[in-house]
Amino acid sequence: MNNQKKGTLYIVATPIGNLEDITYRAVRILREVDLIAAEDTRHSRKLLSHFGISNPLTSYFDHNKHLKGTVLLGKLMQGLSVALISDAGTPCISDPGYLLVRNAVELGIPVVPIPGPSAALAALSASGLQTDSFVFEGFLPNRQGKRRNKLLAIKEEERVIIFYESPNRLQATLLDILQILGDREAVIAREITKIYEEFTRGVVSQLITEYEKRQVKGEIVILVAPGENRTTTKEVSIPDLLDKFMGGDKLSLKDAVKRIAVETGIARTTVYIEALRLSGLNRAGSDDE
């Protein structure tokens, strides 16, 4: 038994809506493995049937993760290959799959990611918010007290914050975000890659007004921009800082803009536009940024 070659655990990303988003590699792996572990076998069976995949299917979700995890690890130790999938997107992100991966790693079982769709990254890429630094917080707590405590804990966060949320809690969560984090720039991405996909942009108070007018359905991602919790634009002189970094420190325009944004909290776009104005450039399409 000790010489038995261990199987491989594949972490397979599946579409978050549009079935065309699955990768060729994901389809091949799902066809080749000995067993597929799915969050909801009824839901996943429809996906697998669409691609003509009839491999054995078993459930692995939050309420059976310990019992079923032991079973799956046993099969992997016997040399069988297992693919882990979730209802949609990349497994192990805000779901119990990470426990299976952690235990597999401890047992020396190879774990191979099969990358693909992710609602959080898809939403961020099309949000229009700054994308060079962000933090993913998953689902906020259901209960208001715990939800507010969580928001208080990340109030000083200087990166874009990404949350998942359900339609029935959207308004309550937005109201708590407004009260705790302030009226920041934010984006709500709903039903990404599906027929009724939409991105709603504005400050939090505007989003509250928008979504209280209608019934909300579908999967939701909330993205919140950083607050002005460091130095504001009124407390610094962009011209002086540009002169310091470009003149004294000999930085390029791009590096100077990035340095100012990091040190002051001013949006890079704001700094860049001011730099163009000061340098006499009126075209925003420069290659410097």
User: Do the beta carbons of residue 196 and residue 214 sit within 8 Å?
Assistant: no
User: Do the beta carbons of residue 89 and residue 42 sit within 8 Å?
Assistant: no
pLDDT tens figures, 42-83:
999 999 999 999 999 999 999 999 999 999 999 999 999 999
Task: Please tell me the distance from the alpha carbon of residue 116 to that of residue 112, in angstroms, as a whole number.
Answer: 13
**What's this model's pTM, rounded to 2 decimal places?**
0.75
- What CATH code is carried by the domain that includes residue 134? 3.30.950.10
The confidence score (pLDDT) of residue 239 equals: 83
Compute the radius of gyration of the chain from its Cα atoms.
Answer: 23
Quickly state the pLDDT bin for 3 (edges 50, 70, 90).
low
Q: Which residues have CB under 8 Å from 140's CB, separation 6+?
A: 147, 150, 151, 163, 165, 173
State the residue range of the domain holding 269. Answer: 233-279
Mean pLDDT computed over 233-256: 77
Total domain count for the chain?
3
- What CATH code is carried by the domain that includes residue 21? 3.40.1010.10
Task: Please indicate, yes or no, whether residues 86 and 146 belong to a single structural domain of this protein.
Answer: no
Residue 196 domain flag? yes
Task: Please tell me the distance from the alpha carbon of residue 187 to that of residue 224, in angstroms, as a whole number.
Answer: 7
Residue 144 domain flag? yes
pLDDT tens figures, 172-184:
999 999 999 999 9
Using the 3D structure, point to which of 85, 117, 149 is the last residue of a domain: 117
Q: In the chain, what percentage of residues exceed pLDDT 70? A: 91
Residue 149 domain flag? yes
Q: Which of 34-43, 52-61, 276-285 has the lowest mean pLDDT?
A: 276-285
Task: Please indicate, yes or no, whether residues 135 and 170 belong to a single structural domain of this protein.
Answer: yes
Residue 2 domain flag? no
The dihedral built from the CA positions of residue 191, 193, 197 and 201, taken in this order, carries a sign that is positive
pLDDT tens figures, 94-134:
888 999 999 999 999 999 999 999 999 999 999 999 888 99
